Structure 1
């Protein structure tokens, strides 16, 4: 299984330390630490995705679950929550040019990270606004704008952007990583046709969430 290079600083110690402890102490229960190693592999895995060629399709920017959909005049906003077993990479929902990257420091409020049955209510709503985040603005061929925002949580306190202003990107291209998950906001400008519902499970560069018109 392929993993992103940013995960090696966790995976290498998480693999070596249990082996050393088992060898030194002959205590097999140290092998339980490999559960943590396996979990880290899930966090940092880089699954291969074959993007289907579908005109005007907008793909999910991350693996996870749609927790909110907001309809506004000429704009659609979706929130995708990344769960414990989701890949934590973000991918371009559509091809275009990166026109702006805005990084905002903020809080680390808790998000509904564990289960859709757990409801943190107003705390999650505040997190969408107050938490540290990184917004990547993409200009499409029709000059419309699309914004992908990486949002950290209580446990996910670091994020990384793989792109820079002026860079041309293709749909499905890796654009960033949130260490240990959290949430991604996607704002689509202009006319669109929604293709998902609240609560739907989505996969980056695989699930079509909307069509732009």
Structure 2
């Protein structure tokens, strides 16, 4: 689908918008005052959770030496991996927390080939806690990224939070993705962890705001 014709709300959010419309419609004919107003705005609020704005990477080629943020939100951690969360090997980690007010569409942090996608059911602990990285529902995506004359690994994880009860992943092993390409979403508040090789340069720090498909979070070296 052309980006010019892409819907403003991700299709995965339409059932939730429909459910929210039921009490709004009921309130319109049976209630008055602030409660009626609040319920009437509920469908719009839910639709906002699933908004799908265009980003720079949709129309502008991305420097292959860059790693982009795969999610909107705030950086919770950047640097050496948090204890017990990294895949096997030598990695650096960037962890991003998405509040309910952030865009929840996820994008590929780099161009490359998807080598694996794995899903693990789990708990729904608050996404800003360290335990959420190892205990919560997660979808892990591994990429093989062309860098220079070779290829480098990159791993990122969609992790659901206290309110996010479902992760949507729209890539499969063997798929070739562009940097900044939409690859799925996480419903409501959630967390994204990105792991790059240790010889990469991390370009963000704790507390930074990042935008999916635009903010540079690391560089290949």
TM-score interval, smaller chain: 0.7 to 0.9
| Counterparts of residues 67-106 of structure 1 (less than 5 Å) | 67-71=76-80, 74-106=90-122
Q: Does 1:62 align with 2:67?
A: no
| Structure 2 residue 44 is the aligned partner of structure 1 residue 35 | no
For structure 2, list consecutive stretches of 5 or more residues without a partner in the other structure. 1-6, 82-88
- TM normalised by structure 2 equals 0.84
Matched, 1:47 2:53: yes
Q: Structure 1 residue aligned with 2:143, among 138, 147, 150?
A: 138
Secondary structure at 1:155 match in 2: coil
1:186 aligned residue (194, 204, 214): 194
Q: Distance in 1 between matches of 2:131 and 2:24?
A: 39
Partners of 2:52 and 2:179 in 1: how far apart? 16
Equivalent of 2:170 in 152, 156, 162: 162
Deviation, 1:106, is 1.6
- Contact 1:42/1:86 (8 A) holds in 2: no
1:34 deviates by 3.1
TM-score (normalizing by structure 1): 0.87
User: Comparing 66-75 with 186-195, which one deviates more in the overlay?
Assistant: 66-75
Structure 1: stretches of 5+ with no match in the other structure: 113-123
Please, which moves more after superposition, 30-39 or 157-166?
Answer: 30-39
